[in-house]
Amino acid sequence: MNLQHWRYEIDAHKIAWATFDKVDSSVNTLDYATLKELANIIDTAEYSPEVVGLVIQSGKKSGFIAGADITQFQHCKNPEEGLKLVLYGQEVFACLEKMEKPSLALIEGACMGGGFELALACRYRIACDSESTLMGLPEIKLGIHPGWGGSIRLPRLIGAFQALPLILSGKGLSAYQAGVLHVVDYVLPKRECENAARDIILKGLALASFPHRLISSLYRMSNMTGVRMLIANFIRKQIAKKTVMQHYPALEALISQWQKHGVSEDAYANEAASLVSLFPTETSQNLIRLFFLQTRMKSGAKASILINHVHVIGAGTMGGDIAAWCALNGIKVTLQDRGESYIAPAILRAKILFEKKLKLKHLVMAANDRLIPDVKGDGMRHADVIIEAIYENLVAKQEILKQMEQHAKPSAIFATNTSSIMLDAMNTALSDPSRLVGIHFFNPVAMMQLVEVVCGEKTSDAVIAQAMTFVKQIKRLPLKVKSRPGFLVNRILMPYLMESVKLVEEGVPMERIDQAAVQFGMPMGPIELADTVGLDICLSVAKELTEHFGGEIPKALLDKVDQKQLGKKTAKGFYTYHRGKKQTQRIDCVVSICIEDIADRLIYRMLNESARCLSEGIVEDADMLDAGMVFGTGFAPFRGGPMQYIKTVGIEQIRARFKALQEQYGKRFETDDHFINAIS
Which of 106, 108, 111, 139 is CA-nearest to residue 123?
A: 106
Give the model confidence (pLDDT) of 12-47 as tens digits.
Answer: 999 999 999 999 999 999 999 999 999 999 999 999
pLDDT band at 55 (very low <50, low <70, confident <90, very high): very high
Is 271 in the same domain as 395? no
State the Cα–Cα distance between residues 112 and 146, nearest whole angstrom: 11
Q: Report in angstroms the alpha-carbon separations of 41 from 27, 105, 115, 577.
A: 20, 14, 16, 60
Average pLDDT over residues 104-130: 97
Last residue of a domain, one of 489, 514, 530: 489
Q: Is residue 404 over pLDDT 90?
A: yes
Give the model confidence (pLDDT) of 554-577 as tens digits.
Answer: 999 999 999 999 999 999 999 999
Give the model confidence (pLDDT) of 235-293 as tens digits.
Answer: 999 999 888 899 999 999 999 999 999 999 999 999 999 999 999 999 999 999 999 99
State the Cα–Cα distance between residues 554 and 588, nearest whole angstrom: 21
Higher pLDDT, 55 or 581: 55
Provide the H-helix boundaries in 51-159: 70-74, 79-97, 114-121, 150-158
pLDDT band at 225 (very low <50, low <70, confident <90, very high): confident
Sheet strands (E) in 417-514: 436-440, 450-455, 477-482
* Percentage, residues of the chain above pLDDT 90: 86
Is 536 in the same domain as 592? yes
The reply to whether 532 falls in a domain is: yes
* Angle of CA points 603, 605, 608, to nearest 5°: 110
Is 262 in the same domain as 183? yes
CATH number, domain containing residue 51: 3.90.226.10
Q: Where does residue 356 rank: exposed (0-12), middle (13-18), buried (19+ CB within 10 A)?
A: exposed
Last residue of a domain, one of 234, 264, 280: 280
What's the order of all strands across the beta sheet hosting 15-20?
A: 6-10, 15-20, 53-58, 103-107, 124-128, 186-188
Q: Is residue 231 over pLDDT 90?
A: yes
* Angle of CA points 5, 8, 14, to nearest 5°: 165
DSSP 151-217: HHHHHHHH-HHHHHHHHHHT-EEEHHHHHHTTSSSEEE-HHHHHHHHHHHHHH--PPPPHHHHHHHH
Q: Among 212-226, 441-455, 497-511, which is the least confidently predicted range?
A: 212-226
Is 165 in the same domain as 40? yes
State the Cα–Cα distance between residues 193 and 537, nearest whole angstrom: 51
Q: Is residue 208 over pLDDT 70?
A: no
Say if residues 247 and 283 touch (Cβ distance below 8 Å). Answer: yes
The reply to whether 292 falls in a domain is: no
Quote the domain boundaries for residue 326. 309-489
pLDDT band at 182 (very low <50, low <70, confident <90, very high): very high
Is 481 in the same domain as 494? no
Residues 6+ apart with CB under 8 A from 631: 294, 448, 449, 450, 477, 479
The reply to whether 641 falls in a domain is: no
Say if residues 487 and 618 touch (Cβ distance below 8 Å). Answer: yes
DSSP 562: H
Structural domain total, the chain: 3
382 assigned to active site: no
The reply to whether 561 falls in a domain is: yes
The reply to whether 301 falls in a domain is: no
Is 65 in the same domain as 201? yes
The reply to whether 630 falls in a domain is: no
Kindly report the number of other CB atoms within 10 A of residue 240's CB atom. Answer: 11
Is 407 in the same domain as 553? no
Which of 257, 255, 248, 256 is CA-nearest to residue 281?
A: 248
Residues 6+ apart with CB under 8 A from 459: 423, 427, 433, 434, 436, 437, 483
Is 163 in the same domain as 270? yes
pLDDT at 300: 83
**Which amino acid is it at 603?**
I
Q: Report in angstroms the alpha-carbon separations of 28 from 68, 109, 145, 375.
A: 9, 11, 20, 46
CATH number, domain containing residue 405: 3.40.50.720
Give the chain's mean pLDDT: 94
pLDDT at 589: 59
Residues 6+ apart with CB under 8 A from 376: 336
Active-site residue identified among 75, 440, 548, 578: 440
Is 524 in the same domain as 603? yes
CATH number, domain containing residue 500: 1.10.1040.50
Kindly report the number of other CB atoms within 10 A of residue 621's CB atom. Answer: 11
The gap between the terminal CA atoms of the chain, to the nearest Å, is 53
pLDDT at 590: 62
pLDDT at 588: 62
Last residue of a domain, one of 233, 265, 280: 280
Is 481 in the same domain as 587? no
The reply to whether 638 falls in a domain is: no
The reply to whether 289 falls in a domain is: no
Is 209 in the same domain as 321? no
Q: Which is it for strands 172-174 and 134-136: parallel, antiparallel or unpaired?
A: antiparallel
Is 160 in the same domain as 36? yes
